Amino acid sequence: MASPLMSLVHDDDRYQKSFQLFLERSSEHQCMKDFIHNKLPHILASIGDGKSHLNVIEVGSGAGDIDLEMLSELHKKHPEVTIDNEVVEPSSQQLHHYQVLVSQKPELNYTKFTWNKMTASEFEENWKQKKMTKKADFVHMIQMLYYVKDLGATISFFQSLLDKNGKLIITLVSDKGGWGKLCQKYRNQLCSTGISYCVTTRDIRCFLDSKGVSYQSFDLPSHMDITECFTEGDEKGELLLDFLTEVLDFSKTASPELKAGVLELLRHPDCSSRSEDRVVFIYNLEAIVIDEPT
């Protein structure tokens, strides 16, 4: 019997390496930044309702670069207010990067950071245990809901923390585009590791629709150069394939059939476009904005 595939998440060194290469080869951060600078200011304009202090919760902040850009837009919209920022991130390495970043920016003195080195569900547990009554004006979950067990419960909990006029922003890959196709076709083979789940914004929209929660949605087109994935034995191609499939050493551990199938899907016109001699994986991120507390 073939040995089960291991999740990339088990090997933090390799995960970080392949994630960094993914960021270099993709427009993901640029597309997030476009959203943050062009759309987010309007979304943030109505939060707070004249308060002099705002509470922010960042769930799965990672190294904090995207989070600080969002914080800076919040500050631009509400320059007079102080901000209490709860950072929730289980990786001590990522949290450390974030803390270093903050220490290099004295202009962030309008913000008090509280570092929660824990998962979203541990944060929820703590919050309930301490019977916290604090409400949040702005909660965001950027590219993190792949890693939670109970999508609906997690969204509902953070939504329940929203104050009047508060906003909850979720981003994930959309079901439209390459990542949606990969998920749809290989859910059973690639998502059996029980650490991350094949969720797309379609799952979020279905959940919110079933609860009658209204939301706004923004499409954020992105792409990724995956040319190297098609050169057998190419080190960078293998790192990118690991990120795409979230399988540790995918090229070496997947069955020949699975590997051939995934490569074929990746270069299919449904998933990628060809420009000159490059293969470019086309996908969408989607931002979902919820603005009603439960």
**Residues near ligand CQA, by CB under 6 A:** 28, 143, 146, 173, 179, 182-183, 186, 190-191, 196, 198, 245-246
Q: How far is the CB of 206 from ligand CQA (least distance, A)?
A: 16
Q: How far is the CB of 185 from ligand CQA (least distance, A)?
A: 9
Our CB check for ligand CQA shows the closer of 182 and 282 to be 182
Q: How far is the CB of 98 from ligand CQA (least distance, A)?
A: 14
Our CB check for ligand CQA shows the closer of 162 and 169 to be 169
Our CB check for ligand CQA shows the closer of 241 and 289 to be 241
Our CB check for ligand CQA shows the closer of 246 and 291 to be 246
Our CB check for ligand CQA shows the closer of 146 and 157 to be 146
Our CB check for ligand CQA shows the closer of 126 and 184 to be 184
Tell me the C-alpha distance between 55 and 114, whole Å.
Answer: 11
Q: How far is the CB of 248 from ligand CQA (least distance, A)?
A: 12
For the chain, what is the radius of gyration of the CA atoms?
Answer: 20
Q: Which residues contact 107 (CB under 8 A, 6 or more apart)?
A: none
Q: How far is the CB of 101 from ligand CQA (least distance, A)?
A: 16
Q: How far is the CB of 287 from ligand CQA (least distance, A)?
A: 13
User: Crossing angle for the helix pair 12-25 and 235-245, nearest 10 degrees?
Assistant: 100
Q: How far is the CB of 152 from ligand CQA (least distance, A)?
A: 18
Our CB check for ligand CQA shows the closer of 83 and 254 to be 254
